């Protein structure tokens, strides 16, 4: 049997997840149950987008609530869940601003109940897609719900079959203007870049879109000059290890996964799932994979502190989160020194590592 990383301590949730799609996190059982209730066929359905007929406000609230429960099961104390309100609208409902607001409110009700029952704080990041003509609405929603749960905006590319014309981050399109406006308004910004696309996409996301965080960013390693700039400027990279293999963004043949390289170089990176419905893997499985690659609890500690420091919460809540994590990590280390049979042993080396992680 493979060794696994430290299992979740439910008394002290200590993980922060920054890159997870709510519309890629439905439980398979819930999809099945909702589809049956509505008499829908699931043949040919691959993503929530294909399952939009399932959607209604109650279903959305339920999905958001169950999401929090699953995050708690995986040790998460704070999560930024991203989704496109447009894609959560049932097909027969036109995307008016009020209808989109109702979607955000339904998600928020689920998050509020989830926080109450499972102690997971969840905030919204609203997504737009290149060329999908929804960026203006998304920006408006970010403004409307600022201070009420929505903490940022994200941009992804539409999946393309023809990879020769595939651009994750276009140089010129409506989204550029929207992101520049978001920056002026002080709305936090993350952009999917350098996942399957080249390092140039990361450069564009940072320089043209003013992204504060990069979704994935693995291919930044193809341009070492840009990579060292990211290291110097502490650009946050939201990595999703299992997803990176399953999407083909990082080939299985790779000698050293970019996440391991980021950890070795003390980059500002974090660990997330991306789309558990599609990958079938939750956060614990991602940590287990990294553990098998030789990353230690000290690396995970650092990754979670990175995530907390780079999250989109208001400054005072962010400071609170960082403090909460530091208390847990320092405490956890002293407990483990007295426990011999855990995979994480507080050897002198590990203590050094932990000093590194907490600094
Ligand atoms: Ni993503």
| CATH number reported for the structural domain that contains residue 50 in this entry | 3.20.20.140
More confident residue, 54 or 137: 137
Span 48-52, mean pLDDT? 54
Distance 274 CA to ligand 1 centre (A): 5
Q: Which domain holds residue 130?
A: 15-358
Q: Which residues of 264-293 are buried (b: 16+ CB within 10 A; e: fewer)?
A: eeebbbbbbbbbbbbbebbbbbbbbbbbee
DSSP 192-238: EESSSS-HHHHHHHHHTS--SEEEE-GGGGG-HHHHHHHHHHT-EEE
Q: What's the whole-number mean pLDDT along residues 194-221?
A: 96
At 161, list the tokens: 């079959």
Task: Report d(CA 153, CA 141) in Å as an integer.
Answer: 10
9 located within any domain: no
Dist. CA 36 → ligand 1 center (Å): 28
Would you say residue 76 has pLDDT above 90?
Answer: yes
Mean of the pLDDT values across residues 275-294? 90
Mean pLDDT of 233-241: 97
Would you state the pLDDT for residue 5?
67
Is the pLDDT assigned to residue 201 strictly greater than 60? yes
Q: What is the pLDDT of residues 322-354, one digit of tens each?
A: 999 988 887 665 444 433 333 333 333 444 454
Say how many domains are in the chain: 1
Q: Which of 29-38, 220-229, 242-251, 336-345 has the highest mean pLDDT?
A: 220-229
Q: Are 273 and 281 in contact (CB under 8 A)?
A: yes
Q: Is residue 233 part of a domain?
A: yes
Answer yes or no: is 4 within a domain.
no
Residue 199 has pLDDT above 90, yes or no: yes
**285 lies in some domain:** yes
Residue 292 lies in a domain: yes
Pick from 35-39, 168-172, 235-239, 294-298 the range whose average pLDDT is largest. 235-239
Q: Which residue would you say has higher pLDDT here, 358 or 201?
A: 201
CA of 49 to the centre of ligand 1 (A): 14
Contacts of 314 (CB under 8 A, 6+ apart): 147
Ligand 1 centre from 336 Cα, in Å?
34
**Catalytic annotation present for 171:** no
Confidence bin at 6 (pLDDT 50/70/90): low
Does residue 58 fall inside a structural domain? yes
Q: What is the mean pLDDT of residues 144-154?
A: 97
The pTM for the full model equals 0.88
Q: In the structure, what pLDDT confidence band is assigned to residue 38 with cuts at 50, 70 and 90? A: confident
pLDDT at 357: 53
Catalytic residue among 71, 195, 285, 336: 195
Q: Work out the average pLDDT over 188-194.
A: 97
* pLDDT at residue 261 tops 80: yes
- Of 308, 283, 274, 298, the C-alpha closest to 354 is 298
Distance 349 CA to ligand 1 centre (A): 35
Q: Above pLDDT 70, what percent of the chain? A: 83
The answer to whether residue 185 is domain-embedded is: yes
Establish if 6 belongs to a structural domain: no
| Statement: residue 312 has pLDDT above 80 | yes
Mean pLDDT across 149-178? 85
Q: What is the pLDDT of residue 333?
A: 58
At residue 316, does pLDDT exceed 70? yes
| Measured distance CA(217)–CA(239) in Å, rounded | 7
Distance 358 CA to ligand 1 centre (A): 28
Q: Compute the distance from residue 139 Cα to the ligand 1 centre, in Å.
A: 19
Residue 208 has pLDDT above 90, yes or no: yes
Q: For residue 1, how far is its CA from the centre of ligand 1 (angstroms)?
A: 30
With tokens 């400054």, the residue in question is: 315
């Amino acid at each position: 049997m493979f060794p696994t990383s430290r299992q979740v301590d439910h008394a002290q949730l200590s993980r922060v997840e920054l890159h997870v799609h709510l519309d890629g996190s439905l439980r398979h059982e819930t999809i099945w149950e909702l589809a049956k209730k509505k008499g829908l066929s699931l043949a040919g359905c691959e993503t929530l987008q294909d399952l939009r007929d399932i959607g209604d406000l109650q279903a959305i609230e339920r999905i958001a609530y169950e999401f929090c429960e699953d995050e708690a099961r995986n040790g998460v104390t704070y999560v930024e869940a991203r989704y496109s309100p447009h894609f959560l609208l049932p097909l027969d409902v036109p995307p008016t601003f009020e209808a989109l607001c109702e979607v955000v409110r339904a998600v928020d009700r689920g998050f509020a109940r989830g926080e109450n029952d499972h102690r997971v704080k969840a905030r919204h990041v609203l997504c737009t897609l290149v060329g999908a003509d929804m960026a203006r609405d998304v920006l408006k929603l970010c403004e409307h719900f600022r201070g009420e749960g929505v903490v940022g905006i994200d941009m992804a590319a539409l999946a393309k079959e023809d990879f020769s014309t595939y651009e994750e981050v276009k140089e010129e399109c409506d989204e550029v203007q929207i992101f520049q406006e978001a920056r002026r308004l002080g709305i936090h910004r993350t952009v999917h870049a350098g996942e399957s696309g080249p390092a140039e996409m990361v450069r564009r996301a940072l320089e043209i879109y003013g992204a504060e965080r990069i979704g994935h960013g693995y291919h930044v390693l193809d341009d070492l000059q840009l990579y060292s700039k990211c290291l110097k400027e502490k650009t946050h990279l939201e990595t999703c290890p299992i997803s990176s293999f399953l999407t083909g963004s990082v080939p299985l043949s790779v000698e050293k996964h970019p996440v391991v390289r980021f950890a070795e170089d003390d980059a500002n990176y974090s660990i997330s799932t991306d789309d558990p419905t599609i990958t079938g893997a939750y956060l614990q499985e991602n940590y287990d994979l990294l553990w098998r690659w030789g990353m230690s609890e000290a690396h995970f500690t650092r990754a979670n502190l990175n995530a907390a420091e780079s999250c989109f919460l208001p400054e005072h809540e962010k400071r609170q989160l960082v403090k909460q994590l530091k208390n847990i990590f320092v405490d956890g280390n002293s407990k483990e020194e007295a426990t011999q049979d855990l995979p994480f042993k507080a050897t002198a080396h590990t203590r050094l590592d932990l000093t590194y992680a907490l600094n």
